[in-house]
C-alpha cells in the first residue's frame, strides 16, 4: 500500500498539469477541470491499491476524468437536449476537443498546457491570485504547500484560488492562447508570475529559512515547459537562463547550519556547472533570436558574468555595470538602481555607489526595503565611516522579516570596528 501511494503521488505530480489542461479544453472551465481531475485521483486512490497501477496511469486518469466530464456536460445540457441526442453530441464535442486520447496523453506537452499557462496568469486576476493558481494547477502544489511557501494562512490561499476560478468563470475568460495582438502583454504576466515564484524561493521574504529551493525548482520546471512551448520568444529563454544560472548557486548560498553565504563569499566549486551550462545555452538562444535583449535576458547576461568568473576577483564588474545601465534604461525602477549602485561600487569604488544610493533615499518604493540601508551600510563601511555603517546595518536588520537575514546583518554590524 505505501508503494502504491507513493506511485500515485508521483503520477499526480507528473500528469496533473496535462490532465487539468486537457479537461479544461473539454469543459471550458479550469475550476471544473480541476474538480474532475481530483475525482479521477480519488478513483485511483480507491482502485489502484487493489487492481494495481495501470501500464499507462496518465491515460487511465484521463479516461476516468473524461467519463466524469461526459456526466458534467450531460447535466449541463439536460434541460436543452433530449436524452437520446446527448450521446452523439457529447461524444462529437469530446472528439473535437481531444481527437486522439492516447496521443494526447503520450504527448509530453501540448497546446492545452500553453492555454492553461495563459489562463492561470490572466490579467483579470490579482498578482497574488495568479501566483497561487499557477502553483496549484501548473506546479502541482497543494494549498497547504503554497501557504507554507509564502507564510500565509491556508484559508487565505484557498480563498485566492477559489476567487481566481470564480473570476475566470464569471468573466468567461476563453481557454486559449492569446492572439498576436495580445500575446506580448499576456506573456509578460506569465513571466512575471514565474519570476516572482523563483525569487521567493531564492530569497525568502520572511520566515526562518534563507531560501526555499522547492519554489525555485517549481518555477524553473514551469519555465522550461514554457520555453519548449514558445521556442521563438526571446524573453522566455532569457528568464529560463536567469533562473538556471541563479539556481546553480543554491548549494553554495547556505552554510552547514543554514546560515546565508553572500555571493562574493561563496565557494564557487559548489556551483552546479550543469545548470550554468544550461543557463548559458538558454541565454545564447535568447540572443540568437535577434533584436535588443529584454529585461530578463539582460539580467541573465549579468548572472552569466558571475557564472563565467571562476573566482570573485575575476568578475567583470565594468561589464555588469554597463548591463545594469542598459537595464535601467529599458526597465527603470528603484530596485534596478540599487543593484546598479552595487555594480558601480565594485567597478569604480564605494563612493560611486554611495552617490546613487543617496539619490534613492526618497524613493517611496524603497521606503520599507531593507536592502537599501543594508547596501548603504556596506558602502559606508568600505569608506571607513564605521558608526554610520553600523546604524544602517542595524536599521536594515530591524526592517527585514527573514530571521536568517536579520542574523547576518546584525553580525555584520557587530563586526565593524573603528579604524
Q: How many beta carbons lie within 10 A of that of residue 216, not counting itself? A: 20
Domain contains 33: yes
Is 95 a residue whose pLDDT tops 70?
Answer: no
Domain contains 72: yes
- Residue 30: which pLDDT band, with cuts at 50, 70 and 90? confident
Supply the DSSP string of 155-211, one letter for each residue: HHHHHHHHHHHHHHHHTT--SSPPPHHHHHHHHHHHHHHHHHHHHHHHS-SEES-S-
* Better-scored residue on pLDDT, 132 or 2: 132
Grid coordinates in use for 266? 561563496
Question: What is the reported pLDDT for 375?
Answer: 97
3-class secondary structure, 254:
strand
Q: Cβ distance 245 to 276 under 8 Å?
A: yes
Is 130 a residue whose pLDDT tops 60?
Answer: yes
Is 171 a residue whose pLDDT tops 70?
Answer: yes
Rounded to 5°, the CA angle 146-147-152 comes to 140
Q: Which of 310, 309, 335, 315 is nearest to 324 (CA)?
A: 335
Q: Determine the average pLDDT of the residues in 45-66.
A: 86
Q: Where is 402: in which H helix or E strand?
A: strand 401-402
Query: Rounded to whole angstroms, how far apart are CA atoms 223 and 237?
Result: 8
Q: Cβ distance 232 to 252 under 8 Å?
A: no
* Better-scored residue on pLDDT, 180 or 342: 342
Question: What is the reported pLDDT for 42?
Answer: 85
**Strand partners for 206:** 401
- Residue 71: which pLDDT band, with cuts at 50, 70 and 90? confident
Query: Rounded to whole angstroms, how far apart are CA atoms 72 and 94?
Result: 12
Rounded to 5°, the CA angle 197-202-204 comes to 80
Domain contains 283: no
Q: What is the DSSP letter of 52?
A: -
**Strand partners for 254:** 260
Domain contains 73: yes
Domain contains 312: no
64 Cβ contact list (under 8 Å, min separation 6): 39, 40, 43, 44
Query: Rounded to whole angstroms, how far apart are CA atoms 15 and 110?
Result: 12
Q: What is the pLDDT of residues 242-295, one digit of tens each?
A: 999 999 999 999 998 888 999 999 999 999 999 999 999 999 999 999 888 999
Is 92 a residue whose pLDDT tops 70?
Answer: no
CB hemisphere CA count around 252 (13 angstroms): 18
Split into its structural domains, the chain has a count of: 1
Grid coordinates in use for 165? 476560478
Is 390 a residue whose pLDDT tops 60?
Answer: yes
Domain contains 24: yes
Domain contains 417: no
**Which residues form the domain of 50?**
2-107
211 φ/ψ angles, rounded to the nearest 5 degrees: -140, 165
- How does the average pLDDT of the chain come out, rounded? 86
String of b and e for 255-267 (b: at least 16 CB within 10 Å)?
eeeeebbeeeebe
CA 243 remoteness from chain centre: 9
Question: What is the reported pLDDT for 99?
Answer: 43
Task: Give, in order, the Cα–Cα distances in Å from 263 to each of 14, 142, 307, 315.
Answer: 34, 32, 11, 11
3-class secondary structure, 90:
helix
Query: Rounded to whole angstroms, how far apart are CA atoms 369 and 334?
Result: 10
Question: What is the reported pLDDT for 100?
Answer: 45
Amino acid at each position: 500500500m505505501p508503494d502504491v501511494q507513493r506511485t500515485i503521488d508521483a503520477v499526480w505530480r507528473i500528469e496533473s498539469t496535462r490532465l487539468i489542461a486537457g479537461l479544461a479544453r473539454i469543459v471550458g472551465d479550469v475550476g471544473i477541470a480541476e474538480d474532475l481531475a481530483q475525482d479521477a485521483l480519488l478513483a485511483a486512490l480507491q482502485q489502484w491499491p487493489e487492481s494495481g497501477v495501470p501500464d499507462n496511469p496518465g491515460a487511465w486518469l484521463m479516461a476516468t476524468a473524461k467519463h466524469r466530464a461526459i456526466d458534467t456536460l450531460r447535466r449541463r445540457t439536460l434541460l436543452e437536449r433530449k436524452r437520446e441526442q446527448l450521446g452523439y453530441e457529447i461524444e462529437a464535442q469530446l472528439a473535437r476537443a481531444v481527437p486522439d486520447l492516447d496521443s494526447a496523453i503520450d504527448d509530453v506537452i501540448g497546446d492545452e498546457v500553453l492555454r492553461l499557462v495563459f489562463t492561470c496568469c490572466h490579467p483579470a486576476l490579482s498578482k497574488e491570485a495568479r501566483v497561487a493558481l499557477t502553483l496549484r494547477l501548473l506546479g502541482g502544489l497543494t494549498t497547504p504547500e503554497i501557504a507554507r511557501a509564502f507564510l500565509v494562512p491556508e484559508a487565505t490561499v484557498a480563498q485566492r484560488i477559489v476567487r481566481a476560478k470564480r473570476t475566470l468563470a464569471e468573466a468567461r475568460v476563453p481557454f486559449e492562447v492569446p492572439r498576436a495582438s495580445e500575446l506580448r502583454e499576456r506573456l509578460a504576466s506569465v513571466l512575471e508570475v514565474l519570476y516572482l515564484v523563483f525569487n521567493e524561493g531564492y530569497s525568502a521574504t520572511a520566515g526562518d529559512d534563507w531560501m526555499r529551493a522547492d519554489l525555485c525548482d517549481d518555477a524553473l520546471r514551469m519555465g522550461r515547459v514554457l520555453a519548449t512551448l514558445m521556442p521563438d520568444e526571446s524573453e522566455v529563454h532569457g528568464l529560463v537562463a536567469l533562473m538556471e544560472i541563479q539556481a546553480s548557486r543554491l548549494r553554495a548560498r547556505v552554510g552547514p547550519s543554514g546560515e546565508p553565504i553572500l555571493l562574493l563569499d561563496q565557494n564557487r566549486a559548489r556551483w552546479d556547472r550543469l545548470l550554468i551550462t544550461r543557463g548559458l545555452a538558454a541565454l545564447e538562444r535568447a540572443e540568437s533570436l535577434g533584436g535588443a535583449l529584454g529585461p530578463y535576458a539582460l539580467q541573465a547576461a549579468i548572472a552569466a558574468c558571475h557564472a563565467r568568473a571562476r573566482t570573485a576577483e575575476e568578475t567583470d564588474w565594468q561589464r555588469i555595470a554597463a548591463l545594469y545601465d542598459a537595464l535601467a534604461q529599458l526597465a527603470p525602477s528603484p530596485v534596478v538602481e540599487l543593484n546598479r549602485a552595487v555594480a558601480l561600487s565594485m567597478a569604480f569604488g564605494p563612493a560611486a555607489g554611495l552617490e546613487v544610493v543617496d539619490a534613492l533615499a526618497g524613493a517611496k518604493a524603497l521606503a520599507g526595503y531593507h536592502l537599501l540601508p543594508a547596501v548603504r551600510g556596506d558602502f559606508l563601511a568600505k569608506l571607513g565611516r564605521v558608526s554610520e555603517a553600523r546604524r544602517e546595518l542595524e536599521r536594515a536588520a530591524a526592517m527585514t522579516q527573514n530571521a536568517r537575514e536579520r542574523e547576518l546583518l546584525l553580525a555584520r554590524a557587530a563586526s565593524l570596528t573603528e579604524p
